[in-house]
Structure 1
Amino acid sequence: MVLRDRRRPLGGRGSGRPRGARRRGHGRGRRDGGARVGRPIAAGDLARTRSRRERPSPPRPGRRHRAGLSRGRRRGGAAVRVTAPAYCTLVDRVPALTFLIVDDNELQRRVVDSCLEPAGHQTMFATDADEARALLDTHRANVVLLSASLPVDEARAALAAALTPQRHGRGHLPQKPAVVVGAAPGERAVADQLVARGAAGVVARPYDRATLRAQLELYAVGSAPATILVIDDSRTTRRSSASILRRAGHTPLEAADGEQGLALLDAHPEVDLVLSDVVMPKLDGYGVCRAIRARPGGDQIPVLLLTALDDIGSQSRAIEVGADDVLTKPISAMELQMRVRSLLRLKSLQRKLARRNVELEEALELGEHLTHMLVHDFRNPLTRVLVSAEMIVEQCDAAGLRETADLGHDVLAAALRLRGLADDLLQVARIEDGVAAPKRTRFAAADVVHAIARDLARVAQVGDVRIDTDVAPELYVHADREWIYRVLQNLVDNALKYSPRGGRVQIRATRQASAVHVAVIDDGPGIPREYRERIFDKFAQVPAKSRRGTGLGLAFCRLAVEAHGGAIGVDARTDGADGSAFWFTLPAA
C-alpha cells in the first residue's frame, strides 16, 4: 500500500484550485468547504496522482516578489510551506508531465513530490516492481525515478517493467518512459548496473530541491543533465553562465582561459559540451575550438562560442574553425539554455545513430554469414535432385513414357532455377566481399548468345515463346566467360518468364566504339520508369503487374558487368511496343 502525503488538502484554500472545483481522477469522498477531499487509500490501491491545474501567477506590477519565498497553506492550524520556483528557465515552459516515483522511502517520495507539484506535474508512487508494473499498464509516464536503495532484484524488475513498451489506448504507438536512477554515494555500483541495463541516467541522492525538477524535465524531453565546460576570462560572465547551467540541471566546470580549459578537458573526459568565450588571453576561443577538433573524438564534442562581436565575419570564422553554434553577448539565460539543449539533443541523436549503424553492420555481417552457410547446405540436396531428375528424364525418354518424361523435364527445370538462385546468392556475396574477381579471356560474343538460346530452348518451348538471335560472328569481348554466360542467362530467363504466350525474345549484340552492346528485348508488360534505376539493387522488386522475383539475379548482373568496367540498364522498347529492353556493355577485344 502506498501512503498518501496528508499534509495538504486536495482542494479548498491554498490548494492551487478554486473552491468547489472537482478533483479529476479521484473516487468518492466527503465535501469539505466545497472541495472534494479524497478518502483514505484502501489496501488494494497502488498510488495516488495529484496535479496542479493552475500554475503560480506571475507577480503583479508594483508588488515585491522574492523568488524562493514560501507561501503557507493552513490545515488544522499548521502551516504547510511550499517553495515557489526560485528561477525562470526554459524548462519552466515544459508542458505538464507525469512522473512515476518507485521508492519505498516515504520521505524521499515527499521530497520529489514537493519539487514537481508546484510546476503542475503529476506524480504517481510505487513501492516495488509489482506496483510499478500495474501503474504502467494503465497510466502513461514520461519519466520513472527509480531508487537505487531498493533491493537489487526489485530494482531490476522495476526497470524491466518500465522499459517494456506500453500501448495506452487504440491508435497510440507503444512508448517507453525515460528511467532515471536516484542513487546515494554508496549506491553508485547498483546505479551503474541499472544504467547498463537501459536506464537513461543517474541523479544524486539526497535530492537537491533546486535542481531535481530541471534534471527530470530534461530527461522527459529526450535530453539529460550534462557536464559542460565553461571557458571565459571574465569571472562575472563565467560565474553567470555556470549559474544558468547549474539551475537547468547541468554540471558546469569553470576555466579562466583556453589553456586551463583544455587541461580540464583532459582531466574530465565526461565533458558533454564546451562553452567558450572568443576573446581571451593566451589561447582564444578559435584556438580552443581548433584544439578540440584536432583531438581523437573531438568532433563528437559540441562547441558553443560566445562573442561580443555581432558581425557576420566573426560568426563565419567561428563556424570555419569547427564551432557548432555562436551566441552573442550579453547572454540571455533562456537563449543560452535553448542553444545548449539543442546541441545536446543533436549529440544524443548522433550517438544513437552511430550505435544503430554499428548494430546494422553487425546484423549484415551475421546475415551474410548465415547466407553462406545456408547456400552451401542447400546445394548438396539440390545436386541430388538434379541428378535424379536427369536420370528420370533419360529413362523415360528411352522407354517412350512421354508424359512422365515431360514431368521430369519440369522437375529438372525447377531444380536448375533453384541452383541458379543459390549460385546468384553466393556469387553476389563473394563479389561484394571482394573475394571473387572476373577471370578475363577473349571469346566470341556469338558463342555465348547461341549457347544461351540452345540451353533455354526447352523453357521457351514450354511458354510458347520464340528466341531470336542477331549477333555478328566477328564480335569478340575480353571478359569472364562464365560470368557473362550467367548474366545473359538471367536476362533471357526473365524475358521468357514475363513474355506472353506466342511472344518473342530477341538477343542482339552490336559493336559501339570500343565496347560490345548486348540487348535482350521482350514482349512483356514493361517496367515503370521510376523502377528502372533501382531494379538492379539487391532484393529490389517492381509491382506485381510488371515483374517479381528474388531480386538477386539482376543484382548479380549489375555487379558482374560493373566488375568488367561495363554498364547495365533497362529501357522501354524503341519501336513503341510493349516490353522492355535490358542491355549491358563489355570491353571489346
Structure 2
Amino acid sequence: MEAKFLPHILVVDDVATNIRLVASILAEQSYELSFATSGKDALQQIQAQAFDLILLDLMMPGLSGLDVTRQLKQDERYASVPIVFITARSDEGAILEAFEAGAADYVTKPFLASELLARVQTQLNLKETRDQLQERNQELNQNVQLKNQLLSIASHDLKNPLSVINGFAQLLQNRPGIQTDPDAREMLKYISQAALRMNNLIEELLDTAALELGKMTLRCETMSLAPIMEKLLKGFQQPLAKKRQQLACQGDFETRIWGDPARIEQVIENLISNAIKYSPEEAQLRVDVQNREGWLELRVHDQGPGFSAEDQSRLFGYFQRLSAQPTGGEVSTGVGLAVVKQIVELHAGEILLEKTSQKGSTFLVRLPAQATAQA
C-alpha cells in the first residue's frame, strides 16, 4: 500500500507558548511538524530539509520574520515555499511590508483555530497545484527537447542517406549494362521510388513537428496560383496517365494572394494527390478557382468513395487511418491533411470538406485575396 504524503510544516516563534498553541491546533490534522525558536534556527532547518509551508512569527529578536522571508525568497531553492506570517500587528503598513517581502498570507493574533487551519490548508493546496504544474511544465519541456532532437535526426541523419540511395539508384539506371537488363532497371526503379516515398514521409513528419512546436515560418510574397498549377500539372502527368484519369482546371488562377509559394504549392499538391489516389481509374478530376468577395476559393473535386460521418470527424487529424483506401496501391501517411489545414490557417484561411457522397467529394480552400488596384 502506498504511503500517504504528509505535508511538512515548520512553525517559527521565539515564544514557546505560542509554538505549543499552534502545534495543538495543527496536531488535529495530518501534518508533519517541525519547530524553530529563532530566525537563525529556522534558516538552518530549512537548508537541511524540505518544507511545504512555513508559519513564521513576524516580530522576533535577531533575525525577524521579514529578514528570514527576504533571504528565502532570494534563493530559488526555497522561493516557492509559502510563508504565512503570524503577527500581533494588524496595521496596514505591517501587512503591506509582509507581502512585499514575499509572504503568501498572514494570521493576526489572537486568531481562531478554524481561521489558522483554513489559511494553512489553502496555501498547501495552492502549493500542490503549483508543484503539479511545474512538474508538468518540466515534462513538456523535455518533450520539446526530444522533438527537437528528432527533428535534427530526421532532417540530417535520415534524409542525407536517402538522398545518397536515390542518387546512386538513378546513376545505376543509366549505366550501359543496366540499360540492357530490364529486371535490374525495374529493381533500381523500385529502390528510387521507395527512397522518394520515405523522403516524403520524413518531410511530412518534419512539418508536423514544426507546426506543433510553432517553428514553421512562412516566406510570404504577392503571388498567384498560375505558376504553381503549371508546375503541378506537369508533375502529375505520370500518375494521372497510370490510372487513365483526367484533370481539368478552370477559373481565375491569376488572382493575387499574400502567401508562401512553396507552402501553397504543398497544399494544392496534397489535395490533387489525394484526389488521384482515392479516385478510380478513368476518373474525371477538377480544380476550380474563384475570386469571391475578397477571398480566393479553390475547390478540388474527386470521384472517390466519399467520407462517412466518422471519417469526417477525423479528417484533419494527425495520423488518421480512414475507411477509404487508395485505388492504385498508393501509400498514404495519414498526416497530409492535418499539415494542409495548419498551413492554410497560418495564411489566415480555412479548408473544409464542402460536400461528399459515394460519387465523389469536394475540398474547399479559402485564402484572403489581395485587392486589385484600379486604374
What band does the TM-score fall into relative to the shorter chain? Answer: 0.5 to 0.7
Verify the 8 A CA contact 1:230 1:255 in the aligned structure 2.
yes
1:10-409 matches, cutoff 5 A? 140=1, 142=2, 220-228=3-11, 240-245=21-26, 248-251=31-34, 253-256=55-58, 261-267=65-71, 270=78, 272-276=81-85, 280-283=89-92, 287=96, 290-291=99-100, 295=102, 303=105, 330-332=112-114, 337=117, 340-341=120-121, 343-390=123-170
Q: Deviations over 1:524-552 (max 9, x none)?
A: 442734335x52xxxx1334425895455
What SS does the corresponding residue of 1:450 show, helix, strand or coil?
helix
How big is the shift at 1:500? 4.2
| Cα distance between partner residues in 2 of 1:519 and 1:462 | 23
| Distance (whole Å) between structure 2 residues aligned to residue 230 and residue 276 of structure 1 | 10
1:471 aligned residue (234, 251, 266) = 251
Shift of 1:361: 0.9
SS at match of 1:250: strand
Change (3 A) 1:286 1:482: same
Would the aligned equivalents of 2:287 and 2:301 in 1 still touch at CA under 8 Å? yes
Deviation at 1:455, TM superposition (A): 0.9
Percent identity, aligned pairs only, is 19
Distance 2:286 2:95 in 1: 67
Q: Bigger relative contact order, structure 1 or 2, given CA contacts below 8 A and separation 6+? A: 2
Given that 1:572 and 1:580 are in contact with CA atoms closer than 8 Å, whether structure 2 keeps it comes out as yes
* Compared CA separation, residues 394 and 487, structure 1 to 2 (3 A): farther
Among 545, 553, 557, which residue is 2:323 paired with? 545
Q: What is the aligned counterpart of 1:569 among 351, 355, 375?
A: 351
Match of 1:28 in 2: none
Which residue of 2 is the match for residue 176 of structure 1? none
Structure 1 residue 345: Cα displacement: 4.7
**What is the match of residue 226 of structure 2?**
446
Query: Are residues 572 and 516 of structure 1, via their aligned partners in 2, closer, same or farther at CA, if it must alter by over 3 Å?
Result: closer
Q: CA deviation at 1:365?
A: 1.5
What residue ranges of structure 1 are gaps of 5+ in the alignment? 1-139, 143-219, 309-328
Instruction: Assess, with a 3 A threshold, how the Cα gap between structure 1 residues 513 and 366 changes in structure 2: closer, same or farther.
Output: same
Give the TM-score normalised by the residue count of structure 1. Answer: 0.46
Q: 1:299-333 CA deviation, whole Å, 9 max, x = no partner? A: xx5x365799xxxxxxxxxxxxxxxxxxxx6324x
Structure 2: which 5+ residue stretches go unaligned?
Answer: 36-54, 326-330
Is residue 508–residue 520 contact of structure 1 (8 Å, CA) maintained in 2?
Answer: yes
SS of the counterpart of 1:221? coil
Distance in 2, matches of 1:223 and 1:429, equals 41
* CA–CA distance in structure 1, aligned partners of residues 338 and 188 of structure 2: 30
- Alignment partner of 1:373: what SS? helix
Is residue 2:361 matched to residue 1:583? no
Q: C-alpha distance in 2, partners of 1:586/1:225?
A: 59
Does structure 1 conserve the Cα–Cα contact (< 8 Å) formed by 2:246 and 2:282?
A: yes
Q: Distance in 2 between matches of 1:568 and 1:521?
A: 17
Q: What does residue 91 of structure 1 align with?
A: none
Q: 1:588 deviation in Å?
A: 3.3
Larger Rg: 1
- The one-letter code of the counterpart of 1:374 is A
Contact map agreement 2:220 2:259 (CA 8 A) in 1: yes
Contact 1:521–1:573 (Cα < 8 Å) also in 2: no
Q: Distance in 2 between matches of 1:277 and 1:417?
A: 69
Contact (CA 8 Å) 1:490, 1:554: kept in 2 or not?
yes
Query: CA 1:580 to 1:390, structure 2 compared with 1: closer, same or farther past 3 Å?
Result: farther
Question: What CA distance in whole angstroms lies between the structure 2 residues aligned with 1:581 and 1:426?
Answer: 24
SS in 1 for 2:6: coil
Shift of 1:437: 4.0
Give the secondary structure class of the aligned counterpart of 1:566: coil
Could you say if the C-alpha distance between residues 393 and 582 of structure 1 is closer, same or farther in structure 2, counting changes exceeding 3 Å?
Answer: farther
| d(CA) in 2 for partners of 1:451, 1:524 | 28
Say if 2:57 and 2:85, in contact at 8 Å, map to a contact too: no
- d(CA) in 2 for partners of 1:256 and 1:571? 66
1:43-77 C-alpha deviation (Å, 9 max, x unpaired)? xxxxxxxxxxxxxxxxxxxxxxxxxxxxxxxxxxx
Whether the aligned pair in 1 keeps the contact of 2:204 and 2:336 (CA below 8 Å) is yes
Measured after TM superposition, the shift of residue 406 of structure 1 is 6.7
Secondary structure at 1:569 match in 2: strand
- Work out whether residues 306 and 356 of structure 2, in 8 Å CA contact, stay in contact via their aligned partners in 1: no
Name the SS of the counterpart of 1:226 in structure 2.
Answer: strand
The structural deviation recorded for 1:575 is 7.5
Structure 1 residues 221 and 580: CA distance shift in structure 2, 3 A: farther
**Structure 1 contact 276–285 (Cα < 8 Å) conserved:** no
Give the match for residue 493 of structure 1: 273
CA deviations 1:318-364 (Å, max 9, x no partner) are xxxxxxxxxxx6324xx855763464254234214313322331332
Deviation, 1:485, is 1.7
Q: Which amino acid aligns with 1:331?
A: A
Q: Provide Cα deviations, 1:195-232, integer angstroms capped at 9, x if missing partner.
A: xxxxxxxxxxxxxxxxxxxxxxxxx332331225689x
Greater mean deviation of Cα atoms: 252-261 or 516-525: 252-261
CA contact under 8 A between 1:479 and 1:587: conserved in structure 2?
no
Conservation of the 8 A alpha-carbon contact between 1:272 and 1:344: no
Q: Secondary structure at the match of 1:579?
A: strand
CA distance in 2, matches of 1:422, 1:383: 12
The Cα offsets for residues 217-251 of structure 1, whole Å up to 9 and x where unpaired, read as xxx332331225689xx998886334423674323
Q: Which amino acid aligns with 1:541?
A: F
Q: Distance in 2 between matches of 1:438 and 1:516?
A: 19
Partners in 2 of 1:569 and 1:349 — Cα distance? Answer: 39
Contact kept? 1:479, 1:586, Cα under 8 Å: no
Q: Is the 8 A contact 2:222 2:258 kept in 1?
A: yes
Inter-partner Cα distance in structure 2 for 1:348 and 1:493: 51
Contact preservation (8 Å) 2:286, 2:301: yes
> Is the CA contact (8 Å cut-off) linking 1:468 and 1:507 kept in structure 2?
yes
User: 3-state SS of the aligned residue for 2:146?
Assistant: helix
CA separation in 2, counterparts of 1:304 and 1:425? 53
Q: Which residue identity does 2:353 align to in structure 1?
A: D
CA shift, 1:288, in A, is: 5.8
Identify if the C-alpha distance between structure 1 residues 338 and 391 changes in structure 2 by more than 3 Å, giving closer, same or farther.
same
Aligned residues: 334
